[in-house]
Structure 1
């Protein structure tokens, strides 16, 4: 697989932009952050292959996060490329004012609900305000959905919606050009094996954040666990993540991440059992300690994802901004 490795010191390590080319057809899967260094990395990587931004015909985005979509708008302006992204994330890639405002309002509401102290909230907002420049130019996206088949760069990609880390996160299965026989409503895919671009659905080193990475996602842990189970069922031979190196045993990696979340659920229960009722910020402090930068929202967001799941499973109660343990379950595997 032809990939260009891009720098990234803030989010999950090195980014990948994947190059799909067949003669005059050129496509990118993800683009990286809109900073001078990353822009130069991507331009140089394309130049080594005999291309420039103006040659790009299609851009396929795994999700809206700036380390994956930041340069999409700029490349589109130079090339008139079609930018594909899931319909849930399209308004944010477009930088639609109403969608951005709704995201900001939802974050503000949750920061209050999670119990963030004022100094932590101010530090987070200062970080976000100082990072606006990495979002890049708005793009004009073409929305896609689960099951959408794309013909880009001489390659057939089938869209597999994989929410959790982000509402619109998608994997793209690499097909042989034949029409898919996977029904959009199927619980288990009728095709297994092969390879896929998976964005941040499964990562080789870190576990993708849930709860804080996209505050629009309702019941984020439940959605992500469903994504992981579906991922395991697909039994991919190899996948190409949005960060770092390819994953050679994708189903095993997904099982490891699912086990990690079961362990974290146990850790959350330990906090409530040992320290009594607590808000998400307090639970996060016990789990992760001091936080800075984007992790100020990722930490309590992850704690919230687990607490919210436990509330829906009637394991904890939520009263006056705090979560209270009702009865500790004995089977975490059945819970997550």
Structure 2
């Protein structure tokens, strides 16, 4: 397996595609974005390795986001490769209009529920349209959690890790006695994957993502090959760090409600992240909503219409916790 780094102007850093070409089959995991510059990079990397798009037998996609799937259709058109994705994401990757329309409707509903200002809604819609340009779409073979695929003698096992996307999967495999994963955007080395906004189809997004992270901690893999940037040498430690990050963010959400009083999701997002632009207009309130919804289920927060407030007694608990922190610091 070889990692191929492909340019990406987004904050997550360069995308990774993973090439298995050391045997009878040529297999690619994720493809990078659809942009012409990305295609040129991937073609050049293939050429350096003595293969071409027409040689590709199978493509496995970690999830539906376009920076991971953008070239799947073009490669399939040239090679006839079979394209695989989890059953929850396959319709989006294929461009099923009914599925896309349902997601857009859900987004619009959330824009109102979250209290997103109209001007920000307009800006976000323009950003989404720019990211929705026509591309060659693949036909997709869906798979399920636990399905296993043999790639040149290596077994890849799909592990469903919903949260960031409804069909997000990582792929387990063994190499040189080590247990490794292709983690897609389930585990990244620098940024924490967005939950709540990146895929509004996901029910209880934070709960699901925390469960996925805990499964990575429990599995104690030897290495992770993420969807962006460099390999992760201690996946369990990185997953545990992200769990702690979300614990801290939940505290910040509670602190915001304590200081601001009852307020909507957009107000909490503004307190956490400040002014937002581009796709972050979706991601900021989406992440805030994921935490508010999680805290509501926990009984720590109460929702009344589109506003949230602290449950009875929580303000006192926060004050006691703050006193304890102050004592520890001094």
TM-score range, shorter chain: over 0.9
Matched, 1:211 2:196: yes
Q: Report the Cα offset of residue 22 of structure 1.
A: 2.6
Equivalent residue, structure 2, for 1:139: 138
Q: Report the Cα offset of residue 100 of structure 1.
A: 0.6
Matched, 1:311 2:310: no
Equivalent residue, structure 1, for 2:49: 49
> Within 5 A, what are the aligned runs for 1:88-167?
88-133=88-133, 136-167=135-166
Q: Report the Cα offset of residue 193 of structure 1.
A: 5.9
Q: Distance in 2 between matches of 1:154 and 1:37?
A: 33
Equivalent residue, structure 1, for 2:62: 62
> Within 5 A, what are the aligned runs for 1:1-336?
1-133=1-133, 136-175=135-174, 194-326=179-311, 327-328=313-314
After superposition, give the CA deviation of every residue in 1:85-110 in whole Å (9 maximum; x if it has no partner). 00000000111011110111111111
Cα RMSD for the two superposed structures:
1.8
Q: Distance in 2 between matches of 1:282 and 1:200?
A: 27
Q: Distance in 2 between matches of 1:74 and 1:108?
A: 31
Q: Report the Cα offset of residue 11 of structure 1.
A: 4.9
How many matched pairs?
Answer: 317
Contact 1:20 1:155 in 2 (8 A): no
After superposition, give the CA deviation of every residue in 1:293-315 in whole Å (9 maximum; x if it has no partner). 11000000000000000111111
Contact 1:59 1:83 in 2 (8 A): yes
After superposition, give the CA deviation of every residue in 1:144-180 in whole Å (9 maximum; x if it has no partner). 111100123443101111111111000100147xxxx
Q: TM-score, normalised by structure 1?
A: 0.91
Secondary structure of the corresponding residue to residue 282 of structure 2? helix
Q: Report the Cα offset of residue 24 of structure 1.
A: 3.7
Secondary structure of the corresponding residue to residue 116 of structure 2? coil
Q: Report the Cα offset of residue 23 of structure 1.
A: 3.2
Would the alpha carbon gap of residues 255 and 193 (structure 1) be closer, same or farther in structure 2, given more than 3 Å must change? farther
Secondary structure of the corresponding residue to residue 112 of structure 1? helix
User: Which of structures 1 and 2 has the bigger CA Rg?
Assistant: 2
Q: Distance in 2 between matches of 1:153 and 1:11?
A: 34
Q: Report the Cα offset of residue 10 of structure 1.
A: 1.8
Q: TM-score, normalised by structure 2?
A: 0.93
Equivalent residue, structure 2, for 1:183: none
Contact 1:20 1:154 in 2 (8 A): no
Contact 1:220 1:305 in 2 (8 A): yes
Which blocks of at least 5 consecutive residues in structure 2 are unaligned? 322-330
Q: Distance in 2 between matches of 1:85 and 1:320?
A: 37
Q: Distance in 2 between matches of 1:23 and 1:221?
A: 40
Task: Tell me which moved more, 319-328 or 89-98.
Answer: 319-328
Equivalent residue, structure 2, for 1:189: none
After superposition, give the CA deviation of every residue in 1:19-57 in whole Å (9 maximum; x if it has no partner). 001334100010011001111111111111011111100
Q: Distance in 2 between matches of 1:83 and 1:113?
A: 36
Contact 1:21 1:154 in 2 (8 A): no
Contact 1:12 1:243 in 2 (8 A): yes
Contact 1:171 1:196 in 2 (8 A): yes
Q: Distance in 2 between matches of 1:11 and 1:63?
A: 18
Secondary structure of the corresponding residue to residue 164 of structure 2? coil
